[in-house]
Each structure stands twice: as structure tokens, then as C-alpha cells.
Structure 1
Amino acid sequence: MDSSNSSSKKKKCEEDEDMISNLPDVIISRILSFLLTKEAVCTCVLSKRWMNMWTTITKLRFIDRKLYYRTYISRTHFLNSVYRVLLHLDAKSIEGFSLSLTKDYDSYHINQWISAVLSRGVKELFIESNRKLDIFLHSLWKSQSLEKLVLDMNVCAVRLHMNGCAVKVPHLVYLSSLTVLELSGVTVVCPPSNESKNMCLNFPLLRVHRATNCIWLNVKVVSFEVPLLEVLSISHTRAFKSVDSQTVIKFCAPRLTKFSYSGFIAPIPDTVLLDLDLSTARIASANIDPWEFVRESTENTGSFAFELLKQFNNNVECLKFERSKVLAVAHDEFPAFGMLTRLEMGNVTGDILLIFLRNSPFLKTLDIQELLGFGEEHCNPENVPYCFISNLEVMKFGKLKGVEDELRFAKFALEHARVLKRVSFCHHWELRKSIFGKVKKKILSFKRSVSSPIIEFL
């Protein structure tokens, strides 16, 4: 009996034992670094050992609202708490500093906090605000420890219908350790003293750059020296009012593998022009989705999209082009895509589609979402592209409406694609089942150059 009681007491003691407190200080500090900084500070009441444990954390994360109940913290209380943490922090270096703001604060305080963490060699800096904010620290652009920089002000930009964050950047920048740069809803301002209006950003280790709704002021040419850049994404999802400036953004990115551009192309002179030095790059995928600002800007949109396409001449493997009908206004010579194996088109005209196919001799997969016209003149055997004869294996048709233009191209492809293995047709949601059944019968009746390609109807 005594033995049984002793065993149960021992088991209870083991269950009640504080396993975390038995861990080394360095492990506890690491665990606390994953909490919100406010929660980490609250552990000081647990015991004498824990009183100053939070001062050794290396990741700081501040949010000026209660995360779970959506109740807000007073502005004064939040300011004081951030200053106290930075004052009492014992960590010699900081891995990350994250700041999420929902209220108006004097930009002076934000810049003071950024300066404090920069002086401790912060590696990752994340600032998010839905209020107006200015960042004017030159030391931010001299940091040799910073590896990741994220400035997310897009919510503020949507609310104000203009960019709510102005970031002052010197005309020469060199960040030796930066690998990720993400800017959203930011206006980059070059100092007026820069008479040449040129800005050079040298990031030798940068791998990823994403820019959303960014504006450049007081600068005509921005040059990114990014020899290791792999991912480049640029988006303009809002149309800004005129800023009476034209900025050319140049990227020297010989190792770029993934590119994406989407959004509005504002009428000149308000547009941002891209100049990509991709002479030695092998682009795995490029996604281009140009939006029209107004009807009058169709020509500008087409010209911009066409110039962008030309920069991927013979070095892109997978190309996705939405709204390719805008290219109808571009009359210059189309580039050749000697490495292209997969082509995805949004809404495309018959003329543009045939040009792409003729200029992509090694194409293996063709994906068309919406075909806008394919007349009898396009069905001439002289228009059969080389890829139909030698390489094209898979074709996909999305949003099939069963109109004559679509059926005409389907017939043209089935008759002339000699190595075709699979064809799939996905009907548009407006197409009735009864009509879709007739469309299927008609497609299945078409003559095929290949005896047994798999034909799917989805």
C-alpha cells in the first residue's frame, strides 16, 4: 500500500514539474523570441529567475492593438512600452524587429525605434502601418547587417487614395547583406540635391524583390545592381494621379528565374518604365498582366507590354500573358521565343495567337483561356506554325463558349498538330449543358492528324 502511494506521489510530482524552467537560459530566450514582445515581458512575474529573462530576446514584435479581441491599446501606453523594451533590452544583437501600427504616430518615434535596432545589427525589419508615416533615416540604407526589409503601407494607401509612406533614399545605396526587399504602398523620394536625378541601388546578395504600388519622386533613372536576384515581382493595382514625372527602372539581373508584372499602365508621362538586363538569364517563368488605365491609354498599354515582352527574347521557358489583346496595337516586330515550352494566354485575338505560335518553335504546352476571333483567313495551311508539326503535345481551352471562332481554331489545331497527345476543353459557366453536348460532338467529329490524342471535356 505504501509502495503504491509512493509511486503515485512520484508520478504526480513528475507531472507537476516545471519542464520549461529546467531549460538553459539560452533556450528559454529563444522560445520567448517567438512570442509577441508584450507577452514575453509579462513572464517577468513568474519568478526571480524570470524577472529579466525577457531582456535577452532577439526578436521584437510590437502590435498596437490586442490581437485576439480587436480592442485597441492607448497611443501613449504603446509608445512608452516600446521605448521601455528598447531601453532595458540586454541582447547585443537583434534578429528581427516587427512593427504593426493602426494609429497615427509622430514619424519621429518610428525613426527612433528603427535607429535603435539598426545600431544593434538587426537582420530583419518589418514595418506595417495603415496610417501616414515618413521614414527619413539615412542609416537604414547604410546597414551592413540587414538581410530582410519589408515596408507594407498598402492599407494606408488604399484608405488615403495615395501612398501614405514616404521613404527618403540617398542616390547611392549599398546594402551588402540584404536578400529580401519588399515595398508596398511606398513613395521613394530622392533628395533634391541629386542634380543628375539618378539613383543606384547596389544589393549584391538580393534574391527576392517585390514592389506593389510604389512611386518614385525626384528621380529619372533607378538602377538596381542585383547580380543574384532570382524573383522580381512588380504590381500597380491602383491608378495614381499624375505626379508629372517619368521614371525608368533598370535591373541588372543575370540570374533572374521568375518575373511578374501586373496592374495599370498609366498614360505617359506618369508611367514607370522597366529596363531589364537579362542577357545571360534563363527565366523559368514570366507572368505579364497589363491593365488598361482608360480607353485612351490602350496604345500606351500595348506599347509597354510589347517592350516588356521583347526583353524576354529567347530566354523564357514559361510565359503567361493575360489580356494579350492589348498587343494588337503594337506594330513592331515580335520577339522570338526560342526557349519557350509553355504558353498561357488570357484573352487573345487570332492574329496575336498565331504570331506567338510562329515565334515559339519548341512550344510543348498551349493554354488558352479566351479566344477573341479566329477567322477563315487564319485557317490557311501556310499559317501552320512549326511547333504544331514538331513539338506541341498538350492544348488546353478554358472558358469555352462554343462559338464559331473557338471551334474553327480547335479544328485547325487538331488537323495540323502532328505530335499532339492531350487536348482538354473546359466550358464557360454560361454555356448550357445541351449546347455543350452539341459542341462536344462537333469537336469529336473533326479530322485529326494524330490517330489517338486524348480529348477531355471538363
Structure 2
Amino acid sequence: MANSVCQEINVGSNRQRSSDEAIHIDRISRLPDVLIQHILSFLSTEEAMATSILSKRWLWVWTSVPIIDLQDTPSCRTNLNLRFRFGQFVTRVLVLNKMASLDKFCLKFNLVDHPSYVQTWFRDAVSRDVKELDITIHGTQIFPFLKLPFAIFTARKLQVLKLSQGVELHVPETVSLPCLKVLHLVWIKYTTDESVSRLFAGCHVLQELVLRKYVGDNSTVSNISIPTLKIMSIRFATGRHKHRLKINAPILEHLYLEDNLGLEFDLEDVSSLVEANVSVTWLENRHIPLLKALCNAKSVSFHWDWSAKMKRCNFGPHHLFLNLVRLELNVGYGGWNILSLFLEISTNLEVLVLAKNNNCRGLGFECRWKPPQSVPECLLSSLKMVSFKGFEGVAYQWRMVKYILKNARVLKVMEISSDGDLPLESKLGVLKKLSMFPRRSKVCQLQFN
């Protein structure tokens, strides 16, 4: 009896839920086409097409969505028949889509059996004044890299261009992208260094640039001279070959740089930097021009694993970090010897974050950190917060904390965060030892997490 009652309740609940869903779908169906098209624009094209089974009202709505977003499956990499069917699918979608102009054309697929077909797809998108073009090609170990049709480089309405992996950047003599604001070049090949320069020269309003480079991409110089650039993210993969990075971006505000390639720096103008996030494997003398170029930034985050023996940087009055208020150093073994330099040149520093890089875990080496010869100006007048992450209680870490507490005149918070595997007794011991250190600032509070 109880079971049949429960079944009736469940059946009633399911009917109510189905009724609610039907009412919800019906309400959406009564919306104007423009609103339904906007809703479908948040789905992939395949998902938008699936809505055609809901009712006659929905049958062809997807063909009026100004976004085409297509992606094949990993099975296409090894199955010739699936690749052929995906190519037919893309062609059919382009034929059925009614929009004279496209907001976005996104295509992610594995292999290029017939490059001419693919180039036809891109030319079709450009002919519809596409605003965003996002192309990712996988599986180029077997097939050659795809060269884009020249029509892309004169797309007058194109605002966002993202090229990833199996693309070879072959740029014509004439480039005119008057509306392009965002450019991503990720693990692609370049016909020549001149191709890159021609592309940048034709982007008159470019604001965001993302570069991901690897050894063997046929490029040895990255000459980035873009007067409108505001955001730049560059990553150079590990390799032995030398590469030269030239930057002239007078209004650049945000720089994210990862250097594992042995870069030589030529930074002509990055005077408007607000934020810089730099990651290197070895901190060496070749990074001195980079350090000096960051002197106007307000927030700097430096990550490095090892530090070679660097010559003493000659930072004159023009290279002091006068605007820097937040500094984060994420350091591996042997890299702490530059902390004193940063304290000396960051005269208005307010927040200092120190973090031990996980790459130096378990090496068993001791860092011979030496404090500055005289107390830096920032400790006497501006440093208000220090956060030490990954604290293990080794000798050099104690020396740093003790030195800062002893000399930081206006320090408000000293926050220590230990590694998660530190026993409770050890944590209590750390806190007790910290509380015994003399503090120059009478308002300084210790926080141990």
C-alpha cells in the first residue's frame, strides 16, 4: 500500500515536472526571434541545431544565429570517413546559415585532408564581414601546416583573430585590419620574421596580443612595435636557440612574460606599464634590461627557479621603482639573493609577497641570503604588509622575517603561511618564535596560517 502511494506521488511529481518544462519551453517559443537567436548564440552550433526537434517554431531558428561554432571529435584524427563527414557538415552549415554578417566563426578540428576546402570556409566567413575568427588545427604531425587565404589579412570588420597550432602564418605584402583589437598566435609556424612584422604593421588599433612560441616555428626575432597595444602575454617554450624580443609599446599597461628560451631583450618603450608578471627558469644578466624596463610598473610579480651569479645591477635614479606598490617574488633555490636589490630600488613599496617555488622542494640546499647594506627606504616609510607563503622554518627564511620585523617602521601585518604538511607542534613553535622577534612597528600584527 505504501509503495503504491509512493509510486503515485512520484508519477504525479514527474507529470508536474514535465508540465513545468513544457510551459517553460512554450514561454521561450513565444519570444521574438531576435531573443531566441541571442539565447542560441551561447551554444555551440551543433547544440543550437539540436533545438530544431522541439517544435516547428524552432526548426530553422539556428540558421539565423550570427555565430558558427564547430568542433570535431578526437576520433576524426584516425578515421578518414569521420573527417570527410565533418568537412561535409561544416560546408552544409555555412550553406544553411542565412546571416549576411557573422559575429563569430570558430572552427576547431584535427586534420586537414583538403586545405582548399578549409580555405573556402574561411573566405566564406570573411565575405560575411566576420568580427571574430577563432581557428585551431590539431594533428599536424601527418599533414602540413595550413596557410590562411590572403583575404583574412584584409578583413575590414575583423575585431578578434585567434590562430592556434596547425597554422602557418604566411602574410601578404598588403595587410589592412583596421578594426582588429585582439590577436592570439598560439604555437603556430611563421613563414618568415617579416611576416610577423607585416601583420603587426597592418593592425592599427590592436590592443591585446597573445604569443605562444616554440623552437622550430621559423622565427628568431619577435619585433613588437605596436603603438596602440595595452595588454601583452608572451610565452617562449624551452629550447637552446637564441631569440630576440624587441618591444616598443608606449601605452602598454599589462605584461605577462614567460621566458624559457634564452631571450635577448631589447625593450625600447614600455613606460606606461601598470602590471608585470614575469616567469623565468634562470634569472641571469640578460634579464637586467628587462628589470630596468619594468621600473614604472605599480605591481610586479617575478617567478624564477634558479638564479645565476648576476653582476651588480647599476640602477640609477632613472631606474628606481618609484611607482611600485606591490611586489611578489616566487623563488626557487638560489634565487633569494636578489630580494635585497628589489627592496633597495622599490622606494615606495607597500605590499611584499614572498613565496617559495615548489620546484625547490626537497633539494636540501640552504640559501645564503644577505640583507641590504643599509635599511631600504621602503622599510622606513611605506611597507605595510608582508606575506610569506610556503614557510618551512629554515634558517634563511627566519633571517628574512627577523630582518623585516626589526626594520619595517610602518608595518601593519606580517602574515606567515606554512606548508600544509607542517605538524601542529611545529606550527605552534613557529608562532612562538615569531612573537619573540623585536618589531620596529608598534602596530604590527602577526598572522600565522
1:373 aligns with 2:367: yes
Measured on the aligned residues, the alpha-carbon RMSD in Å equals 3.4
**2:281 and 2:306 in contact (8 A); partners too:** no
**1:249 and 1:274 in contact (8 A); partners too:** yes
1:145 aligns with 2:136: no
1:90 aligns with 2:92: no
Match for residue 88 of structure 2 among 71, 80, 86: 80
Corresponding residue number in structure 1 for 2:405: 414
- 1:117-196 alignment runs, 5 A limit: 117-132=125-140, 133-153=145-165, 164-170=166-172, 173-190=175-192
1:260 aligns with 2:256: yes
CA distance in structure 2 between the aligned counterparts of 1:272 and 1:171, rounded to whole angstroms = 28
- 1:28-427 alignment runs, 5 A limit: 28-41=36-49, 52-65=60-73, 74-132=82-140, 133-153=145-165, 164-170=166-172, 173-190=175-192, 199=198, 201-202=200-201, 203-213=203-213, 221-236=221-236, 238-240=237-239, 242=241, 248-266=244-262, 271=263, 273=265, 275-279=267-271, 281=272, 283-292=273-282, 302-313=284-295, 315-323=296-304, 325-326=306-307, 328-334=309-315, 335-347=319-331, 349-370=335-356, 373-374=367-368, 378=370, 382-427=373-418
Deviations 1:268-305 (A, max 9, x none): xxx474535223x1x2211111125xxxxxxxx51343
Which residue identity is paired with 2:275?
S
CA distance in structure 2 between the aligned counterparts of 1:136 and 1:401, rounded to whole angstroms = 53
CA distance in structure 1 between the aligned counterparts of 2:423 and 2:59, rounded to whole angstroms = 70
Identify unmatched segments of 5+ residues in structure 2. 1-18, 358-365
Percent of residue pairs bearing the same amino acid type: 27
Instruction: Report the alpha carbon displacement of residue 393 of structure 1 after superposing the two structures with TM.
Output: 1.0
**1:32 and 1:54 in contact (8 A); partners too:** yes
Which residue identity is paired with 2:277?
N
Corresponding residue number in structure 2 for 1:6: none
**1:171 and 1:190 in contact (8 A); partners too:** no
**1:420 and 1:450 in contact (8 A); partners too:** yes
Query: In the superposition, relative to structure 1, how do residues 404 and 55 fare at CA in structure 2: closer, same or farther (>3 Å)?
Result: closer
| Secondary structure at the counterpart of residue 306 of structure 1 | helix
Instruction: Report the alpha carbon displacement of residue 217 of structure 1 after superposing the two structures with TM.
Output: 5.9
CA distance in structure 2 between the aligned counterparts of 1:428 and 1:72, rounded to whole angstroms = 51
| Secondary structure at the counterpart of residue 82 of structure 1 | helix
**1:63 and 1:101 in contact (8 A); partners too:** yes
Corresponding residue number in structure 2 for 1:161: none
Instruction: Report the alpha carbon displacement of residue 32 of structure 1 after superposing the two structures with TM.
Output: 4.0
Which residue identity is paired with 2:157?
S
| Secondary structure at the counterpart of residue 356 of structure 1 | helix
Query: In the superposition, relative to structure 1, how do residues 18 and 361 fare at CA in structure 2: closer, same or farther (>3 Å)?
Result: closer
Instruction: Report the alpha carbon displacement of residue 208 of structure 1 after superposing the two structures with TM.
Output: 1.8
**For this pair of structures, how many residues does the alignment match?**
409
CA distance in structure 1 between the aligned counterparts of 2:377 and 2:50, rounded to whole angstroms = 69
Deviations 1:340-366 (A, max 9, x none): 111111226454111111111101111
| Secondary structure at the counterpart of residue 150 of structure 1 | strand
TM (normalized to structure 2)? 0.79
Query: In the superposition, relative to structure 1, how do residues 437 and 28 fare at CA in structure 2: closer, same or farther (>3 Å)?
Result: closer
**2:220 and 2:244 in contact (8 A); partners too:** yes
Between 211-220 and 98-107, the greater mean CA deviation after superposition: 211-220
Match for residue 428 of structure 2 among 437, 442, 452: 437
Deviations 1:69-102 (A, max 9, x none): xx99822221112212323433211111011213
CA distance in structure 1 between the aligned counterparts of 2:159 and 2:91, rounded to whole angstroms = 24
